[in-house]
């Protein structure tokens, strides 16, 4: 409602009325006390100020505005609570969390040569995700293979020498029976045979070591290939081609410790914080209805798997884990969901 202002002629006080009001104020101040009679001008000033404030209030319609309540604020209605689902004993909100996730990194320090995945890409176990520069490893493998070849040639030489020692020992043994050789020559031939056999055994040991060295260097080169540890979804890539990556933090922040983050979609579950006053309504194995806020029309079935055996002292809440009985690929980790714990009696799991 608009406020009507009075005409300007009615808003002004006449000179006679003003003199009458001033006279009354001055007269009242003179009769009050000797002290106030000495201050008539001060009292007149106060009276003029009061009259001015009153006239301004009247001219702007303060009286009418206060009377009809046009300026009074309206109270807002309280927000309506979310209705409970049919058959529900408790409604709550939570988040979808993947219980199995990993930040995939290399097993050795090296320069990243290639990245084969992008964010949002689904991968399978053993799939190649990235590869480090293997030039140094190639040299180490070549060196180990050369050492293995040298050990094998050395064994061949030891074998020839042992064969010669055995042949001489056989001839001297026959001559000894006929007394055509000395005992010293026979003992020397016997010693050469023993030395040849020891050398051959040593060569076999060197060959075994060289083969282990080759296998180790090949394994180091194979570790330059970063593969997926399980089936999942790539949610983040943290390194680019040309950067140094390492399984440990080094280099003052210039070394990447992870290639990408992999989440196992099959391991997603819902985690809900339930006030301790209502935790008695929940049982392990209790059926649950799950509705993702991103897809209000999508209702999935769930089941309570774990009720944490401790409450938060700060929030007074107990965490409840709900497993998906029915799944949908559109429901992703970190999505917010509404859950309704049904009244059906729960069954123990495990």
Beta carbons within 10 angstroms of residue 270's beta carbon? 28
Q: Looking at the chain, how many residues does it have?
A: 350
Model pLDDT, residue 23: 54
Residue 11 pLDDT > 50: no
> So where are the chain's domains?
8-68, 88-99+266-342, 101-133+224-263, 135-222
Q: Any residues with CB less than 8 A from the CB of 126 and at least 6 apart, and which?
A: 227, 228
Model pLDDT, residue 88: 84
Write out the two tokens for 1: 């409602």
CATH architecture of 88-99+266-342: Beta Barrel (2.40)
Query: What is the per-residue pLDDT across 157-192, written as a single tens digit (0 to 9) for each?
Result: 999 999 999 999 999 988 888 888 888 988 999 999
User: Could you tell me the pTM of the whole model?
Assistant: 0.57
Q: Alpha-carbon distance 129 to 114, whole Å?
A: 9
Q: Is there a shared CATH topology between the 88-99+266-342 domain and the 101-133+224-263 domain?
A: no
Model pLDDT, residue 177: 86
Query: What is the per-residue pLDDT across 97-114, written as a single tens digit (0 to 9) for each?
Result: 998 999 998 888 899 999
Beta carbons within 10 angstroms of residue 86's beta carbon? 9
Q: Alpha-carbon distance 242 to 254, whole Å?
A: 12
| CATH no., domain 101-133+224-263 | 2.40.50.100
Beta carbons within 10 angstroms of residue 265's beta carbon? 17
Query: What is the per-residue pLDDT across 297-309, written as a single tens digit (0 to 9) for each?
Result: 999 999 999 999 9
Model pLDDT, residue 50: 52
Write out the two tokens for 261: 């983050």
Query: What is the per-residue pLDDT across 230-249, written as a single tens digit (0 to 9) for each?
Result: 999 998 998 899 998 888 76
Instruction: Name which residue leads in pLDDT, 110 or 47.
Output: 110
């Amino acid at each position: 409602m608009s406020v009507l202002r009075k005409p300007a002629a009615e808003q002004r006080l006449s000179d006679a009325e003003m003199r009458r009001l001033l006279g009354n104020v001055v007269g009242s101040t003179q009769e009050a006390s000797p002290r106030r009679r000495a201050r008539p001008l001060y009292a007149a000033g106060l009276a003029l100020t009061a009259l001015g404030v009153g006239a301004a209030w009247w001219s702007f319609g303060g009286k009418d505005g206060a009377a009809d309540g046009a300026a009074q604020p309206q109270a807002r209605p309280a927000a309506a609570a979310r209705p409970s689902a049919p058959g529900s004993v408790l409604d709550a909100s939570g988040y979808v969390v993947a219980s199995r996730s990993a930040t995939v990194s290399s097993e050795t320090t090296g320069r990243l040569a290639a990245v084969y995945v992008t964010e949002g890409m689904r991968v399978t176990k053993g799939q190649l995700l990235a590869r480090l520069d293997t030039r140094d490893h190639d040299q180490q493998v070549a060196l180990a293979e050369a050492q293995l070849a040298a050990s094998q040639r050395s064994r061949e030489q030891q074998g020839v020498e042992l064969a010669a020692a055995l042949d001489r020992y056989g001839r001297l043994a026959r001559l000894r029976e006929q007394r055509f050789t000395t005992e010293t020559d026979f003992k020397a031939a016997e010693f050469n045979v023993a030395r040849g056999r020891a050398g051959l055994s040593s060569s076999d040991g060197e060959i075994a070591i060289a083969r282990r060295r080759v296998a180790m260097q090949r394994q180091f080169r194979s570790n330059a290939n970063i593969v997926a540890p399980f089936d999942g979804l790539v949610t983040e890539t943290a390194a680019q081609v040309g950067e140094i990556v390492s399984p440990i933090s080094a280099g003052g922040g210039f070394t990447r410790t992870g290639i990408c983050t992999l989440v196992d979609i099959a391991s997603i579950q819902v985690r809900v914080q339930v006030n301790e006053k209502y935790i008695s309504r929940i049982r392990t194995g209790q059926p649950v209805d799950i509705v993702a806020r991103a897809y209000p029309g999508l209702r999935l079935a769930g089941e309570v798997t774990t009720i944490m055996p401790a409450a938060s002292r700060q929030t007074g809440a107990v965490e409840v884990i709900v497993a998906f009985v029915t799944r949908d690929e559109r429901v992703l980790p970190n999505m917010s969901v509404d859950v309704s714990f049904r009244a059906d009696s729960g069954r123990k799991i495990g």
